Amino acid sequence: MTEIYSTPAVPGAHTPLYAGSLLSVRGLEKVYGSKESLTHALAGISFDVEQGEFVAIMGPSGSGKTTLLNCISTIDTASSGHIYVAGRDITTLSKRALTKFRRDDLGFIFQDSNLLDTLTGFENISLALTIKGTPATQIPPRVNAIASQLGVSDVLSKYPYQMSGGQKQRIAAARAMISDPQLVLADEPTGALDSRSATIMLEMLEMMNTQMGATIMMVTHDAFAASYTSRVIFIKDGTLFNELRRGDDSHDAFFNRIMEVVAFLGGEAGHVS
Ligand SMILES: Nc1ncnc2c1ncn2[C@@H]1O[C@H](COP(=O)(O)OP(=O)(O)OP(=O)(O)O)[C@@H](O)[C@H]1O
Ligand SMILES: [Mg+2]
C-alpha cells in the first residue's frame, strides 16, 4: 500500500521540538468592568501543564474557570500576564498568527458539541482539514482512521439531529483530534450528558490522552469527571487554590480525594458537586 499521509496518521505521534512545559500561564489577570465596578475574574494565576498531561480545572461558580479557558483559547484577551504554548507567548500574537494558532495547535470540545447542523458527522470532522488546505484525497482515510480509533464510525453518515447527545460529543472529540493539535481544551464536555454517556466520553478522553498522546485541559464541575484526569487544579477567586495529583490512585480513590477539596470549598461553592 502506498503511504499517502504527509502528516502523521496517528494524532500526537509527532515529537515536539520544545522541551519545556507545553502550557505555561504566568501572572494572568483578567479584569472586567469599569472604574465603578471592577471584577477580577483572574487575579494573577500561574501554573504549568506538561506535554501528555490530562488536567482538570475545578472551582466554585464565578471562580474564573471559563475566563481562563477563553484566554488560553484566545477567544478572550487577558488584561495582563502571559500564556506560553510550547514556549511561544500567545498573548502577543498578531491576528493572523492567532487564527493559525487556533486552527493548527488547538482542539476544542464544548459542553454542547457545537457541531454544524447541516453537515454530517464525517463532514463535521473533515471540515477542520479542509480549512487547513489538506489535499482532498488525504481527508477520507484520516477521518475514517480517527473515527475508528474513537469508535464513532457508525455515526459518520448521520446529521447531528439524528445523533444522541453522547454521539455528538464523541464526534466533537474526533473533530478536535483530527488536526493533531498540541493542546485540547474542553469546557464541561460531559456537562450535558447522562451518566452512561458521560462515562463513555471520559473513557474516550482518557484514551485520547494515554494512547493518542493528546494533552488535555478540561474544565468541570464534576468530581467524577475530574477523577479521570492525572491532576486537578482548583481555582478560587481567580487564583490557584490547590492541586491534586492522581499518582497511582484508582478512579475511586482519586474521586474521594477530589471530593474532600470540593467539600472544603463547598461553603461558597454553589453548584460544585
Ligand atoms: N463579560 C463579562 N463581564 C463582566 N464580568 C464577567 C464577564 N465574564 C465573566 N465575568 C465575571 O468574572 C468572574 C468569573 O467568571 P467565569 O465565567 O470565568 O466563572 P466560572 O468559574 O466559569 O463560573 P461557572 O462555574 O459558573 O461557569 C465572575 O465573577 C463573572 O461574573
Ligand atoms: Mg464557566
Contact (Cβ atoms closer than 8 angstroms) between residue 184 and residue 214: yes
* 61 in contact with ligand 1, CB cutoff 6 A: yes
Residue 180 pLDDT class (50, 70, 90 cuts): confident
Contact (Cβ atoms closer than 8 angstroms) between residue 208 and residue 184: yes
Non-local CB neighbours of 81 within 8 Å, separated by 6+ positions: 25, 26, 27, 28, 29, 42, 44, 45, 46, 91
Residue 50 pLDDT class (50, 70, 90 cuts): very high
In a domain, 40, yes or no: yes
Of how many residues is the chain composed? Answer: 273
Contact (Cβ atoms closer than 8 angstroms) between residue 188 and residue 161: no
Measure 269 CA to ligand 2 centroid, in angstroms.
Answer: 13
Residue ID of nearest Cα to ligand 1 atom 24: 61
Residue ID of nearest Cα to ligand 1 atom 3: 32
- The number of distinct structural domains making up the chain is 1
Range of the domain at 250: 21-111+182-265
Residue ID of nearest Cα to ligand 1 atom 2: 32
Query: Which grid coordinates belong to 259?
Result: 471530593
* 33 in contact with ligand 1, CB cutoff 6 A: yes
| Strand order through the sheet with 106-109 | 106-109, 183-187, 215-219, 54-58, 231-236, 239-245
User: Which of 28, 37, 39, 57 has the most ligand 1 atoms within 8 A of CB, as the residue to mutate?
Assistant: 39
At residue 34, the pLDDT reads 82
194: number of CA atoms within 13 Å, CB side?
4
In a domain, 153, yes or no: no
Q: Give the burial string for 124-143 (b: 16+ CB within 10 Å, else e).
A: bbbbbbeeeebeeeebeebb
Non-local CB neighbours of 96 within 8 Å, separated by 6+ positions: none
Per-residue pLDDT tens over the stretch 181-226: 999 999 999 988 899 999 999 999 999 999 988 999 999 999 999 9
Q: Can you tell me the distance from the alpha carbon of 193 to that of 189, in angstroms, rounded to the nearest whole number?
A: 8
At residue 19, the pLDDT reads 63
* 121 in contact with ligand 1, CB cutoff 6 A: no
Q: Can you tell me the distance from the alpha carbon of 93 to that of 78, in angstroms, rounded to the nearest whole number?
A: 13
Measure 44 CA to ligand 1 centroid, in angstroms.
Answer: 15
In a domain, 92, yes or no: yes
In a domain, 118, yes or no: no
Is the pLDDT reported for residue 116 higher than 90? yes
In a domain, 36, yes or no: yes
In a domain, 136, yes or no: no
Query: Which atom belonging to ligand 1 lies closest to the Cα atom of 33?
Result: 4
Which CATH number belongs to the domain containing residue 34 in this structure?
Answer: 3.40.50.300
* 38, burial (CB in 10 Å: exposed 0-12, middle 13-18, buried 19+): exposed
Query: Which grid coordinates belong to 83?
Result: 500564556
In a domain, 163, yes or no: no
* 220 in contact with ligand 1, CB cutoff 6 A: no
Residue ID of nearest Cα to ligand 1 atom 19: 62
Per-residue pLDDT tens over the stretch 91-107: 999 999 999 999 889 99
Is the pLDDT reported for residue 174 higher than 70? yes
* 273 in contact with ligand 1, CB cutoff 6 A: no
Q: Which residues pair with 40 in a beta bridge?
A: 31
Is the pLDDT reported for residue 16 higher than 70? no
Task: Name the residue type at position 203.
Answer: E
Measure 188 CA to ligand 2 centroid, in angstroms.
Answer: 8
Measure 194 CA to ligand 2 centroid, in angstroms.
Answer: 19
End-to-end CA separation in angstroms for the chain: 51
In a domain, 85, yes or no: yes
Contact (Cβ atoms closer than 8 angstroms) between residue 236 and residue 57: no
